[in-house]
Amino acid sequence: MKVLVLNSGSSSIKYQLFDMRDESVLAAGSIEQIGEPGSHLSHALPSPQGGMSKTVRDLPIADHRQGFALIASVLKESGALADTGELRGIGHRVVHGGEQFKEPARVTPEVLGAIRGLIPLAPLHNPANLLGMEVAMESAPSVPQVAVFDTAFHQSIPSHAYRYAIPKKLYEAHHVRRYGFHGTSHRYVTKKGAEFLKKPLDSLNLISLHLGNGASAAAIHQGRCIDTSMGLTPLEGLIMGTRCGDLDPAIIFYLERETGLSSAAIESILNKESGLKGICGVNDMRTVGELAKAGNPEAQLAISMYCYRIKKYIGAYHAVLGELDGVIFTGGIGENADFIRAECCENLAHLGLEMDNRKNRGRQEGCFALESRASRVKILVIPTNEELEIAEQTVACLGG
């Protein structure tokens, strides 16, 4: 049973083809710079030596329609998929599902209309996700399509955690509330965490830390999300590669008055020039780590601020969860940066978290545990796999 997962951006389409009998990846790749000079296709297939072997081809790709046709033709050429009729379904990543979508949804004209209605909440992402769905439906009309929303996992958050303390009419008329993102990743790693701990997910209280270029924390109570750090948009919460995270909102009005910058210019600064990049000039945590090690004080400050913010969220979520069974690190930084994990968990023995530094430094494949014998709380590294989660949810939505 084959499932294709598509993540359509404004000038790119990422794809992964799974055989859901054993969840193996049959092919994966991306089309980048659609409609621009330099458009190209990267296509990777499982290599007999293990891992994936990738080829890159420069090709003119005028639009998403041509992009989808190209993906279908390379999948056929490589023998991964004879034709789209072989697909059980196509799963689409959709960033914003608002309050309507608490679960994945089979794509219908009504569902497309509802996603279109949510464009004001995600003006950069939802239009590109919609385009991907429309093109895939036109090109493979007999294949069922499923929309999987980044926000859906957080729809279990209660109102005292999702409402902002602003006039009620702004929530009612303009839907201003916390939605949260990275839901597909938080859902996947908490599920894997329960498997790793050999306990039912609905018996576990977990804090999930997705630390990639974007970053968010989620508090999971007996398997259900009860709070998360991203808000109406992905700007709130943890410090990220280029996003500021939590901020006094009055800073925006102060900057407007003092600098004469427009609100759009300030929005762009807070999204693209802030976070690690704003503090030390670079947003890639590997480089920040190297600079800090070489004695660069700005990089050292960036790491201290980054970990301090995470620690505050661990403390806050521990308080709202009461009992805490485990903390999960995932995402490029969470999975790979031992120095970040160590600093985030430093001096938290009073909360029951004690890291074994030797285990933390040893990189292992798959899931692994970092806590010491004395630790009451498990500390886990769990590699995320959002594409596989989308494929699993696609199958589940289509009835197994």
Nearest to 219 by CA among 325, 292, 104, 137: 325
Give the shortest CB-181-to-ligand AMP separation in angstroms: 13
Query: Do the Cβ atoms of 93 and 6 come closer than 8 Å?
Result: yes
Distances (CA, A) of 224 to 41, 152, 155, 193, 288: 38, 11, 9, 13, 34
Q: Which residue has the tokens 């201290």?
A: 304
Rule CB under 6 A: is residue 284 a binding residue for ligand AMP?
yes
Give the shortest CB-7-to-ligand AMP separation in angstroms: 13
| Active-site pick, 150, 227, 325, 338 | 150
* Nearer Cβ to ligand AMP (234/331): 331
Within residues 313-342, the interface with ligand AMP by CB under 6 A covers 331-333, 336-337
- Binding residues for ligand AMP, rule CB under 6 A, total 12
Rule CB under 6 A: is residue 289 a binding residue for ligand AMP?
yes
The tokens describing 121, both together, are 């909440």
Rule CB under 6 A: is residue 280 a binding residue for ligand AMP?
no
* Nearer Cβ to ligand AMP (183/241): 241
* Nearer Cβ to ligand AMP (152/288): 288
Give the shortest CB-288-to-ligand AMP separation in angstroms: 8
Rule CB under 6 A: is residue 213 a binding residue for ligand AMP?
yes
Instruction: Determine the interface stretch with ligand AMP among 104-112, 146-154, 243-251, 283-291 (rule: CB under 6 A).
Output: 283-291
* Nearest residue relative to ligand AMP (C-beta): 332
Report the residue from 57, 174, 286, 293 that binds ligand AMP according to the rule CB under 6 A: 286
Strand 145-149, strand 105-106: pairing: antiparallel
Give the shortest CB-17-to-ligand AMP separation in angstroms: 21
Give the shortest CB-213-to-ligand AMP separation in angstroms: 4
Rule CB under 6 A: is residue 212 a binding residue for ligand AMP?
yes
Rule CB under 6 A: is residue 234 a binding residue for ligand AMP?
no
Give the shortest CB-339-to-ligand AMP separation in angstroms: 8
Instruction: Determine the interface stretch with ligand AMP among 9-17, 143-151, 165-173, 281-289 (rule: CB under 6 A).
Output: 281-289
* Euclidean distance between CA atoms 21 and 322, whole angstroms: 39
Rule CB under 6 A: is residue 231 a binding residue for ligand AMP?
no
- Whether 150 is catalytic is yes
**Bridge partner residues of 30 (DSSP):** 14, 42
Report the residue from 130, 285, 388, 391 that binds ligand AMP according to the rule CB under 6 A: 285
Backbone φ and ψ for 183, nearest 5 degrees, come out as -60, -35
Instruction: Determine the interface stretch with ligand AMP among 123-131, 251-259, 284-292, 365-373 (rule: CB under 6 A).
Output: 284-292
Strand blocks (E) in the chain:
2-8, 13-19, 24-32, 40-46, 52-58, 87-94, 105-106, 145-149, 205-211, 215-221, 224-228, 326-330, 368-369, 378-381
Nearest to 212 by CA among 246, 181, 249: 181
Rule CB under 6 A: is residue 241 a binding residue for ligand AMP?
yes
Give the shortest CB-217-to-ligand AMP separation in angstroms: 15
Give the shortest CB-338-to-ligand AMP separation in angstroms: 8
Within residues 47-66, the interface with ligand AMP by CB under 6 A covers none
* Nearer Cβ to ligand AMP (20/305): 305
Distances (CA, A) of 371 to 206, 250, 342: 14, 40, 11
Please give the radius of gyration of the chain, using alpha carbons only, rounded to the nearest integer.
Answer: 21
Nearest to 16 by CA among 8, 24, 25, 393: 25
Query: 108 CB contacts (<8 Å, ≥6 apart)?
Result: none
Rule CB under 6 A: is residue 242 a binding residue for ligand AMP?
no
Rule CB under 6 A: is residue 256 a binding residue for ligand AMP?
no
Query: 349 CB contacts (<8 Å, ≥6 apart)?
Result: none
* Euclidean distance between CA atoms 240 and 263, whole angstroms: 21
**Ramachandran region, residue 33 (left: φ > 0; alpha: ψ -120 to 50; beta: rest):** left
At 26, the amino acid letter reads: L
* Euclidean distance between CA atoms 392 and 369, whole angstroms: 25
* Positions marked active-site: 150
The contact set with ligand AMP (CB under 6 A) reads: 212-213, 241, 284-286, 289, 331-333, 336-337
